[in-house]
Amino acid sequence: MTYIAKPKLRHPGIAVNRLGFTHRDYEGSVSTLCAGCGHDSISFAIIQACFELNIEPHRVAKLSGIGCSSKTPDYLLGQSHGFNSVHGRMPSVLTGANLANRDLLYMGVSGDGDSASIGLGQFVHCVRRGVNMVYITENNGVYGLTKGQFSATADKGSKSKAGGSNLDSPLDLVSMALMVGATFVGRSFSGDKAQMVPLIMAAMSHPGPAFIDIVSPCVAFNNHAGSTKAYDFVREHNEAVNRLDLMEPREAITVEYAPGTSEEVALHDGSTLRLSKLAADYDPHDRIGAMAYLQSRAAAGELVTGLIYMDATATDMHANLNTVDQPLNLMSEKQLCPGSNGLDAFNAAHR
Amino acid sequence: MSSPAVQTPPSGARNSRLSVAGMAPTDISNPDYFHKVVDCQWACPAHTPVPEYIRMIAAGRYSDAYMVNWHSNVFPGVLGRTCDRPCEPACRRGRVEEVTKKAEPVAICRLKRVAADNKDDVKARMPAPAAAKNGKRVALIGAGPASLTVARDLLPLGYTVVLYDGDGAAGGMMRTQIPKFRLPETVLNEEVNYILDLQPELRLGQKIDSLKALLAEDYDAIFVGCGAPRGRALELPGGAQAKANIHIGIDWLSSVSFGHTTKIGKRVIVLGGGNTAMDCCRTSRRLGGQQVNVVVRSGFDEMKASPWEKEDAMQEGIPIHNFLVPREFLHTNGKLTGMRFQKVKAEFDAKGRRNLVPSGEPDVVMECDDVLVAVGQENAFPWIERDLGLEFDQWDMPRVDPRTFQSTNPRVFFGGDAAFGPKNIIWAVAHGHDAAISIDLLCQGKDMAQRPSPLVNLSSQKMGIHEWSYDNDISNDHRFKVPHAPIEKALKDVKLEVELGFDLSQAFAEAERCLNCDVQTVFDTPKCIECDACVDICPMDCITFTANGDEEDLRRRLTAPSLHKEQDLYISSALKTGRIMAKDEDLCLHCGLCAERCPTGAWDMQKFLLNAPKTGYACHR
């Protein structure tokens, strides 16, 4: 952390988006995390993604639970709505908020403790229900706030800072999200903004439950030799299956790709991302194939990153429930509550 | 930045394809690299360590701040009032402040005055006269800032220095040309006396009229620091008849300075657009001039006068008329009545050169009682014989080596305005330091090309985990204005100092605007784990991690656009991923957040202190 606030002065040639904002306008308060924490890098990737997507900050709701990762929504989007909930209960709060006001862009920020341990049940059910959201886990494999015990995502055999080996099997949130019906699944690494930013942008434009697991080294407790979530280890075992590049709206496509190796992803602000393949036989639209691929690469000790799965025809919870288009929080009591006569009539219909 | 080094990344690095030929890593052991980052110090001809003394002012250490200045520029009190301030246009603050208002540099010059005005008695900190003479004799011609600097540098080393000046007091143009309302005599005397206390032999009131004769005396070296003493005249119809009321600006200022001239007519025209013209018009206002008009050939923005001097003149009710070319002095029977001017306009030719061409409008007639001509100054060396092996160029200026200040006669050196034409005090001081080095080397029989190195120190400012020995919290204040004496009072007394100087609370706030550009961001490549923390926190988006490339290519790929190509890029050697760190030094706030956020100490904030070369460093204690 730092003791002084980030100076207000900014680069005179700084880029401005369509709303007239600079990326600095999407910042939050100054981070209190350890210097070099991967989570801060993810925060800045989210800031950059919102800037690039021309997102109005007051149209975003950022929610989190408890933990280092769950502190981070305070460090970004200072002009957005925020809710710091109970440990592991963010998915329920997010679901409720989304039900009440479907017009906001929901961003859940959590960690491996908050989502893979105490909140695991909440996480899978939220995804299952198809809540339209971007759910990001900042995954460092340890409980940082309690000084570095292994978390549920720590790989078997990974070494702790004190030298001990993890004997438990890891829980892979990406596989779990695929299994329970996430329609957009990605994985990235906090040390690779070029990969993170377009992935977050694509997730924000996705109309259903989007999940991104971001490996984020804990510099204080999990960045040593023997750890499988250290900067060096992740860089050496990072296997990106594809790459997303942001294209300016009228930019001529100059790079030629072999047929079938690239496709475009439309973003909700009208621009597009280009998805190009790095692994020749990998198809991000094949859910079963993706699950098998993840398992086979994990067995080989490699970490698959990139856009792992996307269902372009995804729908969300509101479609499933057939709710009205108008957000419920904008309706009057009269519209929402049928009154006792209405209730009597409804009950009578079921007798 | 030639000879690009191809770096091989360590085995196991995935992205080794990123390692390509490109810029060589920055050599921070070359003192010029970090010196250039300190824009103000780099721009100062005497390379005064500006941020160092500004921090001292903020800490209330006025005497220390004064001595830092005195070592470098010899006349802090004088320069704190009169300097042409090349440091201020260079100041980084003037490039970074554009968020809410027009960016303005730190008031470096006026902070210098704060140190001079608020210091304690510093006599005990001044060098003592040499205990023993070294037997070498040096003559200095002219007792202005250049010669006095040579005297200060040589006297403590044991040289016998003989100081000649045609005037009765030392100080040169600082005494004769700068009006007292800008530079009080007490301030000048104090600083001249620090040098006279080192006991040069004074030959004041003794004008040199033959260099040949002086060379025949037993001097080991002669330094010519006589300035550019001749004001250019203006030959126009009517000039000869009306000459009683037409005065050469610098001569007139000198006459006012010595008290020979005490009044001027009610209506005055000042011709010229330089700082001398501004001094002439403001002095006229104080000697009875009620309608004082400045008339300039060129446009307002092209005038040579410093912007603040023009502003001060206009504040005193003096209009500046531009694009008027003097044509005729009007007189009635030899009594000056006015001037006639032709109106011109600026036209640019194909090469972009500006020409002033008649606009076709009718001539302008301006009535006046006196005219002051301040249209330029010339060097004049009628007293230098042309058979001394001392060559002159096509403009009748001596051929002087710009590094050593030696003329083609090995024993004769030039400095200040006498060397390369009119500049200003701070240049004269810088020339003096370099000439003193050369004279010392010559007298010691050493090679004049083997010049002393600057004194350089680079030291970490880290005091705790997030604590630095400088105030890294950036002030958002805009530049403070120096208070002035009330105009009614100021115009009544030619000796009343018009600028009052910052009070101590203003001085503190202004000092806090300094960005501490001398506290350098030093990058230790092997420690970097490429976590991006510095990139994310940098408020100015200065830092980029990317594949190497040639400079033009790299500048296109920076996190934020590169606005000033003359500002260097700080390039690391190849990192583990094969990428490099590139930092655009241009707009760095030196806030230290990169170092605070760095988990491994790859970034550190280190103070770079450079003292420009001086002979013997006798004045540094």
Nearest CA in chain B to A15: B560
Q: Which two tokens stand for residue B619?
A: 């004045």
Do B564 and B612 belong together in one domain?
yes
Which is it for strands B412-414 and A81-84: parallel, antiparallel or unpaired? Answer: unpaired
Domain boundary, last residue among B375, B396, B412: B375
Nearest CA in chain B to A30: B537
Cα–Cα distance between B417 and B276 in angstroms, integer? 14
User: Do A36 and B529 make contact, defined as CB atoms within 8 angstroms?
Assistant: yes
User: Do A3 and B591 make contact, defined as CB atoms within 8 angstroms?
Assistant: no
Residue A207, amino acid:
P
pLDDT at B320: 96
Which residues from chain A sit within 8 angstroms of residue B472, using beta carbons?
Answer: 4
Q: Which two tokens stand for residue B596?
A: 């605070």
Cα–Cα distance between B616 and B157 in angstroms, integer? 7
Helix (H) or strand (E) holding B311: helix B307-315
Query: B353 pairs with which residues across the strands?
Result: none
Contact B285, B316 (CB under 8 A): yes
pTM over 0.95: no
Cα–Cα distance between B175 and B7 in angstroms, integer? 60
**Count of structural domains, chain B:** 4
* Strand ranges for B160-316 from DSSP E: 160-165, 201-204, 221-224, 230-231, 246-248, 267-271, 291-295
Cα–Cα distance between A39 and A111 in angstroms, integer? 10
By Cβ distance, the residue of A12, A44, A236 closest to B12 is: A236
Q: How far is A325 from chain B (nearest CA, A)?
A: 39
Q: If you average pLDDT over residues B226-246, what whole number do you get?
A: 91
Residue B17 has pLDDT above 80, yes or no: no
pLDDT at B619: 56
With respect to residue B211, please indicate whether it lies within any of the assigned structural domains.
Answer: yes
Give residues 559 to 588 of B whose Cβ lies within 8 Å of A. 560-561, 563, 576-577, 587
Classify residue B454 by its DSSP letter. P
Contact A157, A165 (CB under 8 A): yes
Residue B5 has pLDDT above 50, yes or no: no
Do B524 and B586 belong together in one domain?
yes
Residue B595 has pLDDT above 80, yes or no: yes
Convert B404-437 to b/e letters by CB count within 10 Å (16 or more is b): bbbbebebbbbbbbbbbebbbbbbbbbbbbbbbb
Do B328 and B356 belong together in one domain?
yes
Domain boundary, last residue among B443, B468, B493: B443
Contact B582, B569 (CB under 8 A): yes
Residue B19's pLDDT band (cuts 50, 70, 90): very low
Residue ranges of chain A with pLDDT lower than 50?
A: 250-254
Do B465 and B576 belong together in one domain?
yes
Task: State the Cα angle at A61 between A55 and A67, rounded to 5°.
Answer: 120
Task: State the Cα angle at B113 between B111 and B119, rounded to 5°.
Answer: 105
Residue B165 main-chain phi, psi, to 5 deg = -155, 140
By Cβ distance, the residue of B467, B536, B561 closest to A41 is: B536
Do B427 and B561 belong together in one domain?
no
Cα–Cα distance between A134 and A120 in angstroms, integer? 17
Query: Which of B17, B512, B541 has the highest number of chain A CBs within 10 A, making it the mutation to test binding with A?
Result: B541
- Mean predicted lDDT score pLDDT of chain B: 92
With respect to residue A348, please indicate whether it lies within any of the assigned structural domains.
Answer: no
Domain boundary, last residue among B318, B352, B375: B375
Q: How far is A240 from chain B (nearest CA, A)?
A: 11
With respect to residue A148, please indicate whether it lies within any of the assigned structural domains.
Answer: yes
Q: How far is B574 from chain A (nearest CA, A)?
A: 15
With respect to residue B130, please indicate whether it lies within any of the assigned structural domains.
Answer: no
Which residues from chain B sit within 8 angstroms of residue A7, using beta carbons?
Answer: 473-474, 476, 539, 589, 591
Cα–Cα distance between A174 and A210 in angstroms, integer? 11
Do B317 and B406 belong together in one domain?
no
- Break chain A down into helix, strand, coil percent, rounded to 5: 35, 20, 45
Alpha-carbon Rg for chain A, nearest whole angstrom, is 21
Task: State the Cα angle at A103 between A99 and A107, rounded to 5°.
Answer: 80
Residue B90 has pLDDT above 90, yes or no: yes
Quick one: which of B300, B344, B294 has its CA closest to B319? B294
Neighbouring CB atoms inside 10 A of B50's CB total: 29
pLDDT at B13: 39
How would you class A44 by CB atoms within 10 Å of its CB: exposed for 0-12, middle for 13-18, buried for 19 or more? buried
Nearest CA in chain A to B588: A11
Q: How far is A333 from chain B (nearest CA, A)?
A: 46
B589 lies within 8 A of chain A by CB = yes
Classify residue A119 by its DSSP letter. T
Which is it for strands B412-414 and B221-224: parallel, antiparallel or unpaired? Answer: parallel
End-to-end CA distance of chain B: 37
Q: How far is A243 from chain B (nearest CA, A)?
A: 14
User: What is the Cα B377 distance to its own chain's centre?
Assistant: 19
Contact B562, B555 (CB under 8 A): yes
Q: How far is B465 from chain A (nearest CA, A)?
A: 9
With respect to residue B448, please indicate whether it lies within any of the assigned structural domains.
Answer: no
Residues of A with CB under 8 A from a CB of B: 1-15, 24, 34-38, 40-41, 43-44, 190-191, 193, 217, 219, 223, 231-232, 235-236, 238
pLDDT at B268: 97
End-to-end CA distance of chain A: 63
With respect to residue A331, please indicate whether it lies within any of the assigned structural domains.
Answer: no
Alpha helix (H) residue ranges in chain A:
38-52, 68-71, 90-100, 112-116, 120-128, 173-179, 193-205, 231-237, 287-299, 317-321, 333-336, 339-349
Which residues from chain B sit within 8 angstroms of residue A12, using beta carbons?
Answer: 95-96, 98, 103, 563, 587
B409: CB partners within 8 A, 6+ apart = B215, B388, B389, B390
With respect to residue A5, please indicate whether it lies within any of the assigned structural domains.
Answer: no
Residue B120's pLDDT band (cuts 50, 70, 90): very high
User: What is the Cα B376 distance to its own chain's centre?
Assistant: 20
Which residues from chain A sit within 8 angstroms of residue B530, using beta carbons?
Answer: 191, 231
Contact B82, B427 (CB under 8 A): no
For chain A, the residue count is: 351
Residue B18 has pLDDT above 60, yes or no: no
Do B531 and B576 belong together in one domain?
yes
Do B354 and B255 belong together in one domain?
yes
With respect to residue A73, please indicate whether it lies within any of the assigned structural domains.
Answer: yes
Query: A264 pairs with which residues across the strands?
Result: A274
Size of interface A-B (CB pairs under 8 A): 113
User: Do B560 and A13 make contact, defined as CB atoms within 8 angstroms?
Assistant: yes
pLDDT digits 0-9 by tens, B296-313: 999 999 999 999 999 999
By Cβ distance, the residue of B98, B476, B593 closest to A2 is: B593
User: Do A41 and B531 make contact, defined as CB atoms within 8 angstroms?
Assistant: yes
Q: Which residue matches tokens 């912007």?
A: B307
Cα–Cα distance between B553 and A327 in angstroms, integer? 50
Task: Find the domain containing A203 and state its range.
Answer: 23-321
Residue B138 main-chain phi, psi, to 5 deg = -125, 130
Angle of helix B62-73 versus helix B50-58 axis, rounded to 10: 160
Nearest CA in chain A to B578: A235
By Cβ distance, the residue of B539, B560, B563 closest to A9 is: B539
pLDDT digits 0-9 by tens, A168-194: 999 999 999 999 999 999 999 999 999
User: Do B472 and A43 make contact, defined as CB atoms within 8 angstroms?
Assistant: no
Task: Find the domain containing B485 and state its range.
Answer: 48-125+478-511
With respect to residue A190, please indicate whether it lies within any of the assigned structural domains.
Answer: yes
**Count of structural domains, chain A:** 1
Do B19 and B88 belong together in one domain?
no
Residue B99's pLDDT band (cuts 50, 70, 90): low
User: Do A36 and B593 make contact, defined as CB atoms within 8 angstroms?
Assistant: no
Do B3 and B70 belong together in one domain?
no
pLDDT digits 0-9 by tens, B316-348: 999 999 999 999 999 999 999 999 999 999 888
Q: If you average pLDDT over residues B578-595, what whole number do you get?
A: 95
Query: Which of B93, B99, B538 has the highest number of chain A CBs within 10 A, making it the mutation to test binding with A?
Result: B99
B597 lies within 8 A of chain A by CB = yes
**CA dihedral (B576, B579, B584, B588) positive or negative:** negative
Convert A258-281 to b/e letters by CB count within 10 Å (16 or more is b): eeeebbebebebebbbbbebeeee
Residue A168 belongs to domain with CATH number: 3.40.50.970
pLDDT at B421: 85
